[in-house]
Structure 1
């Protein structure tokens, strides 16, 4: 375990900034998906709920960063938001957009889960106890979303296959 408090503090702040940028990226991925979903109302509803959760996560990260007299990285936020928007746009061109989005969302949630688990280790080792509760809350939200996507994937896949077989494209929006 590293013992240099300054190094741990620096790593932790960098991790918080990275998480902030990742949450901004999540918004740029989910928001266009919601606008395009028609045949999958339960997916749209859960994404809307997670957008609200994500906004709360960003607020918690802002508060944690402010406690260290710093803020998110505008450059990281912008760069990851742009890549998230590009990914969402690329999937919108695919006939199986809902499937590709489901795969990407599942992977992205697990990336976030790993990020928050790592931040919790740094918070514990660095003695940043004030960060533990908000980070655990966010981790719990990400785990719940990943679980929901996992449980919904068979239904989404079957609905897509049914729409496709009926002569529809199965697109998120027909």
Structure 2
């Protein structure tokens, strides 16, 4: 039976893998958004936040003299690459990508909410502070995606009606 600290470390590794997956997914999406500059700019901003989040989660893992799970990191990247590659063939890739991004942000929100509670339980005030900071960034990105989804959808619909226009990206 896993104790509190083992669960905490396992969930920290999960968070690191999740951020690796997010980076891969976001970079894949950003490459294909040339006709959606506002979405592209926000995705690129969040890529930078995600890279910093990885570093912050890694710093908590290192304080507990443990390392991130290479298997989980690789598995997350492979899953994200598969998702990005699958979207390349969808005619409505930009809309589905924005929806998937919103769903993924909510997964991250739930994960960091749980990590905050666990950090409190183990007395890791520095980890709690880090996860609260990350949680705010994830909430901001989810809110932005939700608020901008109608515009992205409308842009896609307008582009898809125009002759000789690539609406997909």
TM norm structure 1: 0.94
Shift of 1:125: 1.4
Shift of 1:128: 1.5
Match of 1:145? Answer: 141
Match of 1:161? Answer: 157
Match of 2:68? Answer: 72
- For residues 111 and 169 of structure 1, what CA distance do their matches in structure 2 show? 31
- For residues 141 and 104 of structure 1, what CA distance do their matches in structure 2 show? 17
Match of 1:170? Answer: 167
Shift of 1:37: 0.8
Match of 2:99? Answer: 103
Match of 1:118? Answer: 114
Structure 1 runs of 4+ off > 3 angstroms? none
Match of 1:45? Answer: 41
Of the three residues 4, 7, 11, the one matched with 2:3 is 7
Aligned length: 168
TM norm structure 2: 0.96
- For residues 44 and 59 of structure 1, what CA distance do their matches in structure 2 show? 23
Query: Is 1:88–2:62 an aligned residue pair?
Result: no
Does the 8 Å CA contact 1:33/1:88 hold for their aligned counterparts? yes
Secondary structure at the residue paired with 2:91? coil
- CA-atom RMSD in angstroms: 1.2
Structure 1: where are the runs of 5+ without partners?
none
